[in-house]
């Protein structure tokens, strides 16, 4: 009964979405206010029905309803309750339902937090979101219904893929989807503006918090996925340039570019058609990611659920959504003229370079990811496009970008005085060079890559500190409190940039100083890796709720003192007979110790892998700081103030008089 209610709720949601996608849009085109006003209640109703459907599926999992095919395939009576909830999105059908929940959740959010926007805009935005919803609901109902019955019911379920039985996976897909789907809002704003013919500063201002919010989720989702791969796949790597990882990284790159170009469009009225294109691109790449993951066009470690028929449907959706929006762009964008002008050396130019670098980086990833497809179609030989390709191209692309992070916040809008900037920043640069030259020597190993990494990281940190010191000094001259005129979005920017520095330190240190040892260890053997003594105390049998395991015991000592006892495992999950390696990891701020069991060799000896990974947690820490920077930015009060100003019919002007003196250096 419950699954049928869920199924019915999905159909009701589709009906609501059809109303949502058409009537307000027509209303906006013809100026019929009641039709426009229909947008909000219909979107909220649609959200309600999706929530009902989702709750029904969760309920079926919790109640072990193995008469539902999807539950029987992805759950098991021995599976703990929290994994049963995570199992809801452990397979294709449930993932898509989660996708839907996110989409209508974002629509709901738009309907709630858009009270200050004109009716015409809101109705168009919600309608565009409704049209996307129709496409995906049809996809779910026609090709991937999670409520399909299995009669007679299975006595027990096949269990959730053991790779996915993990805390990281409970959170990774929801965060990632929140990011992916979040770009649909910015996309809808862009399309609505193209339809209404108003690509102005107000449009950019409305889009900014939505873009940043989606970007925050995407950042956290990618970081969590990387962390999950690190500890769950048992290989000790944190990024594999796998096609599915790339699929999430591309919208991130474009989203990052979009955040910066929206700033320019809002402040200076330039780059408008470029910004619109980025908004369309960010969401298109999210859809492309969905297509690549769901169609099985590219094989990948993530190939948990792939199906070519579904691929065809998603491809069709891609054609309709992306094709029509790019066509609309080609038709409408020629009318958009830039207002402001700017000199060759100005903050506008620096941000444009930032955008170009990010988009080129995205294109590089896209090309590398799709290369197998292109090569196949064109009959090229297929060399491996793997990590070496991406790393070769990424370092030269990211180096100037990170250099700009230090530079751009000091440049003025319209026209910057480059020689004066060079004089002001020469000490900062000198500091960074000194760190890059000397620190690796102190650490005991100097290579060009380590030096480059530390140069970039210290350049970013030194320029941030310098910028803050300067602000405080200037505030003192004006007689105000040190950071009185400093907005939250400025803090957010600096924090996010600081996060990048932390991330670079993590990557540099891991790449430069990690130690990997593959050893054959008898019980009682001790090996020294990077100053830690690892003593292997043998392996014992152990059993979990739905698996049997061989559990190793490794005692770690440093200078004779015990540091930690680690328990790497090799598990076999009973329902699927699938072997899994569960690495043991000991994390501190400055290093990870990573032990994983290989194979039994003979007479109780095992092959054991021991990694020493300095600063590895900084990689994810950096991402978290970036996301926190985003949170600070979104919470900036100027978004609320500005919106109210517009209602009164005033043009958006810099608000507080105290901030005017600092305006040249604020917000980017």
Partner 1 sequence: MKRRLLLLMPLAIFLLLLVFFYDGLKLDPSLVSSPLIGKPAPQFALTELYDPSVTISNADMKGEVWLLNVWASWCVSCRAEHPVLVDLARQRVVPVYGLNYKDQREDAIGWLKAFGNPYVSSLHDLDGRVGMDYGVYGVPETYVIDRQGIIRYKQIGPVTAKVLNENILPLVQQLKEERPS
- Residue 609 in contact with partner 1, rule: CB under 8 A: yes
Q: 323 or 524: whose CB is closer to partner 1?
A: 323
- Residue 607 in contact with partner 1, rule: CB under 8 A: yes
Q: Is the peptide bond before 152 cis (omega within 30 degrees of 0)?
A: yes
Is residue 126 a contact partner of residue 119, using CB atoms and an 8 Å limit? no
The three state secondary structure string of 428-478 is HHHHHHHHHHHHHHHHCCCCHHHHHHHHHHHHHHHHHHHHHHHHHHHHHHH
- Residue 526 in contact with partner 1, rule: CB under 8 A: no
**Residue range at the interface with partner 1 (CB under 8 A); choices 2-10, 78-86, 323-331, 537-545:** 323-331
* Greatest Cα-to-Cα distance within the chain, rounded to the nearest angstrom: 83
**Residue range at the interface with partner 1 (CB under 8 A); choices 365-373, 533-541, 544-552, 641-649:** 365-373
Q: 245 or 665: whose CB is closer to partner 1?
A: 245
Per-residue binding string, partner 1, 369-408, x by CB under 8 A, is -x-xxx-xx---xxxx-xxx--------------------
- Residue 581 in contact with partner 1, rule: CB under 8 A: yes
Which two structure tokens, joined as six digits, stand for 393? 């191209």
Name the CA dihedral angle for 332, 335, 336, 340, rounded to a multiple of 10 degrees: 170
Name the CA dihedral angle for 468, 470, 473, 477, rounded to a multiple of 10 degrees: -130
Angle between helices 243-268 and 347-378 (to 10 degrees): 150
Q: What is the DSSP letter of 235?
A: S
User: How much of the chain is helix, strand and coil, in % rounded to 5?
Assistant: 65, 10, 25
Please count the other Cβ atoms lying within 10 Å of the Cβ belonging to residue 236: 21
Radius of gyration of the chain (CA): 27
- Residue 319 in contact with partner 1, rule: CB under 8 A: yes
Is residue 127 a contact partner of residue 184, using CB atoms and an 8 Å limit? no
**Residue range at the interface with partner 1 (CB under 8 A); choices 18-26, 314-322, 483-491, 532-540:** 314-322
Q: What is the DSSP letter of 162?
A: G
- Residue 654 in contact with partner 1, rule: CB under 8 A: no
Kindly tell me which residue out of 112, 303, 418, 423 binds partner 1, with binding defined by CB under 8 A.
Answer: 303
Kindly tell me which residue out of 599, 603, 648, 651 binds partner 1, with binding defined by CB under 8 A.
Answer: 599
- Residue 550 in contact with partner 1, rule: CB under 8 A: no
Minimal distance, residue 155 CB to partner 1, in Å: 19
Size of the residue set binding partner 1 (CB under 8 A): 57
Contacts of 632 (CB under 8 A, 6+ apart): 488, 489, 491, 492, 495
- Residue labelled with tokens 């990024």: 239
Q: 338 or 645: whose CB is closer to partner 1?
A: 338
- Residue 577 in contact with partner 1, rule: CB under 8 A: yes
Minimal distance, residue 391 CB to partner 1, in Å: 12
**Residue range at the interface with partner 1 (CB under 8 A); choices 24-32, 328-336, 480-488, 498-506:** 328-336
596: three-class secondary structure by DSSP = strand
Q: How far apart are CA 253 and CA 272, in angstroms?
A: 19
- Residue 657 in contact with partner 1, rule: CB under 8 A: no
Minimal distance, residue 270 CB to partner 1, in Å: 15
Kindly tell me which residue out of 312, 422, 469, 647 binds partner 1, with binding defined by CB under 8 A.
Answer: 312
Q: 327 or 423: whose CB is closer to partner 1?
A: 327
- Residue 169 in contact with partner 1, rule: CB under 8 A: no
Q: 327 or 438: whose CB is closer to partner 1?
A: 327
Kindly tell me which residue out of 333, 465, 605, 661 binds partner 1, with binding defined by CB under 8 A.
Answer: 333
Exposed/middle/buried for 329, CB within 10 Å: 0-12, 13-18, 19+?
A: buried
631: three-class secondary structure by DSSP = helix
Q: 274 or 498: whose CB is closer to partner 1?
A: 274
Kindly tell me which residue out of 38, 86, 195, 281 binds partner 1, with binding defined by CB under 8 A.
Answer: 281
Kindly tell me which residue out of 127, 219, 226, 300 binds partner 1, with binding defined by CB under 8 A.
Answer: 300
- If we measure between CA atoms, which residue out of 106, 127, 112 comes closest to residue 29? 127
Q: How far is CA 314 from the centre of its chain?
A: 21
Q: 373 or 647: whose CB is closer to partner 1?
A: 373
Q: How far apart are CA 507 and CA 522, in angstroms?
A: 33
Beta strands 578-582 and 526-529, pairing class: unpaired
Q: How far is CA 458 from the centre of its chain?
A: 25
Q: 31 or 386: whose CB is closer to partner 1?
A: 386
Q: 52 or 393: whose CB is closer to partner 1?
A: 393
Contacts of 378 (CB under 8 A, 6+ apart): none
Per-residue binding string, partner 1, 506-525, x by CB under 8 A, is ------------x-------
What are the E-state strand segments in 451-590?
A: 515-521, 526-529, 532-543, 547-558, 561-566, 569-573, 578-582, 584-587
- Residue 295 in contact with partner 1, rule: CB under 8 A: yes
Q: What is the phi/psi pair of residue 486, to 5°?
A: -85, 120
Minimal distance, residue 598 CB to partner 1, in Å: 6
**Binding to partner 1 in span 104-123, by CB under 8 A:** none
Cα→Cα distances 287→49, 251, 371, Å: 23, 9, 19
Q: 77 or 299: whose CB is closer to partner 1?
A: 299
Minimal distance, residue 312 CB to partner 1, in Å: 6
Q: 1 or 330: whose CB is closer to partner 1?
A: 330
Minimal distance, residue 436 CB to partner 1, in Å: 30
Kindly tell me which residue out of 273, 275, 364, 487 binds partner 1, with binding defined by CB under 8 A.
Answer: 273
Minimal distance, residue 579 CB to partner 1, in Å: 5
**Residue range at the interface with partner 1 (CB under 8 A); choices 135-143, 172-180, 483-491, 575-583:** 575-583
Q: 430 or 579: whose CB is closer to partner 1?
A: 579
| H or E segment and range at residue 307 | none
Minimal distance, residue 388 CB to partner 1, in Å: 8
Q: 239 or 498: whose CB is closer to partner 1?
A: 239
Q: How far is CA 580 from the centre of its chain?
A: 27
Q: 162 or 453: whose CB is closer to partner 1?
A: 162
DSSP 49-66: HHHHHHHHHHHHHHTT-T
Q: How far apart are CA 180 and CA 158, in angstroms?
A: 30
Q: 20 or 355: whose CB is closer to partner 1?
A: 355
**Binding to partner 1 in span 206-265, by CB under 8 A:** 233, 235, 240, 242
Kindly tell me which residue out of 149, 576, 624, 659 binds partner 1, with binding defined by CB under 8 A.
Answer: 576
Q: How far apart are CA 157 and CA 71, in angstroms?
A: 7
- Residue 419 in contact with partner 1, rule: CB under 8 A: no
Which residues of the chain form contacts with partner 1 (CB under 8 A)?
Answer: 233, 235, 240, 242, 273, 277, 280-281, 284, 291, 295-301, 303, 306, 308, 311-312, 315, 318-319, 322-323, 326-327, 329-330, 333-334, 370, 372-374, 376-377, 381-384, 386-388, 518, 576-581, 598-599, 607, 609
């Amino acid at each position: 009964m419950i699954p049928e209610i869920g199924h019915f709720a999905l159909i009701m949601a589709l009906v609501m979405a059809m109303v949502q996608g058409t009537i307000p849009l027509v209303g906006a085109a013809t100026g019929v206010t009641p039709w426009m006003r229909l947008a909000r209640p219909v979107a909220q109703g649609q959200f309600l029905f999706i929530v009902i459907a989702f709750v029904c599926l969760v309920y079926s999992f919790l109640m072990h309803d193995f008469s539902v095919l999807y539950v029987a395939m992805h759950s098991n009576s021995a599976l703990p309750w929290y994994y049963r909830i995570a199992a809801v999105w452990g397979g294709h059908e449930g993932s898509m339902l989660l996708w839907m929940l996110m989409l209508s959740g974002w629509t709901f959010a738009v309907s709630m937090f858009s009270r200050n926007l004109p009716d015409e805009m809101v109705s168009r935005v919600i309608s565009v979101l409704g049209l996307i919803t129709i496409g995906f609901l049809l996809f779910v109902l026609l090709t991937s219904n999670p409520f399909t019955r299995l009669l007679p019911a299975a006595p027990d379920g096949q269990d959730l893929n053991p790779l996915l039985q993990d805390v990281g996976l409970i959170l990774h897909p929801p965060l990632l989807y929140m990011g992916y789907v979040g770009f649909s809002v910015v996309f809808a704003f862009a399309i609505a503006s193209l339809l209404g013919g108003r690509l102005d500063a107000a449009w950019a201002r409305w889009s900014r918090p939505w873009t940043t919010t989606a970007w925050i989720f995407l950042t956290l989702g990618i970081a969590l996925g990387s962390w999950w791969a690190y500890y769950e796949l048992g290989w000790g790597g944190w990024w594999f340039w796998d096609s599915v990882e790339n699929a999430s990284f591309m919208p991130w790159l474009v989203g990052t570019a979009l955040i910066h170009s929206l700033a320019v469009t809002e402040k200076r009225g330039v780059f408008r058609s470029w910004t619109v294109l980025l908004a369309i691109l960010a969401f298109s790449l999210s859809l492309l990611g969905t297509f690549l993951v769901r169609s099985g066009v590219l094989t990948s470690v993530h190939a948990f659920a792939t199906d070519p028929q579904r691929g065809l449907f998603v491809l069709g959706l891609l054609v309709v959504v992306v094709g029509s929006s790019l066509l609309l762009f080609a038709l409408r964008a020629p009318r958009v003229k830039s207002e402001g002008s700017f000199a060759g050396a100005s903050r506008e130019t620096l941000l444009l370079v930032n955008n170009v670098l990010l988009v080129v980086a995205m294109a590089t990833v896209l090309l590398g990811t799709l290369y197998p497809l292109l090569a196949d179609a064109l009959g090229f030989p297929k060399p491996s496009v793997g990590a070496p390709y991406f790393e070769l191209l990424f370092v030269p692309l990211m180096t100037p970008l990170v250099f700009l992070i230090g530079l751009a916040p000091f440049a003025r809008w319209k026209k910057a005085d480059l020689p004066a900037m060079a004089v002001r920043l020469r000490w900062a640069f000198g500091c960074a060079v000194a760190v890059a030259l000397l620190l690796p020597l102190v650490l005991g190993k100097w290579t060009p890559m380590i030096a480059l990494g530390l140069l970039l990281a210290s350049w970013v940190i030194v320029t941030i500190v310098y910028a803050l010191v300067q602000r405080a000094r200037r505030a003192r001259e004006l007689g105000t409190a040190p950071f009185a005129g400093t907005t939250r979005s400025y803090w957010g920017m600096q924090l996010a940039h600081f996060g990048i520095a932390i991330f670079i330190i993590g990557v540099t240190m891991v790449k430069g100083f990690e130690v990997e040892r593959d050893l054959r260890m008898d019980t009682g053997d001790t090996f020294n890796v990077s100053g830690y003594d690892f003593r292997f105390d043998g392996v014992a049998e152990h059993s979990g709720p739905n698996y049997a395991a061989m559990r190793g015991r490794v005692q770690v000592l440093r200078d004779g003192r015990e540091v930690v006892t680690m328990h790497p495992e090799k598990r076999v999950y009973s329902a699927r007979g699938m072997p899994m390696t569960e690495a043991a990891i000991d994390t501190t701020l400055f290093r990870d110790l990573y032990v994983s069991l290989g194979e039994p060799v003979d007479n109780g000896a095992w092959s054991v892998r021991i990694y020493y990974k300095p600063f590895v947690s900084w990689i994810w820490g950096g991402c978290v700081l970036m996301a926190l920077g985003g949170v600070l930015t979104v919470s900036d009060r100027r978004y609320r103030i500005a919106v109210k100003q517009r209602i009164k019919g005033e043009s958006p002007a810099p608000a507080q008089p105290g901030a005017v003196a600092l305006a040249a250096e604020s917000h980017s």
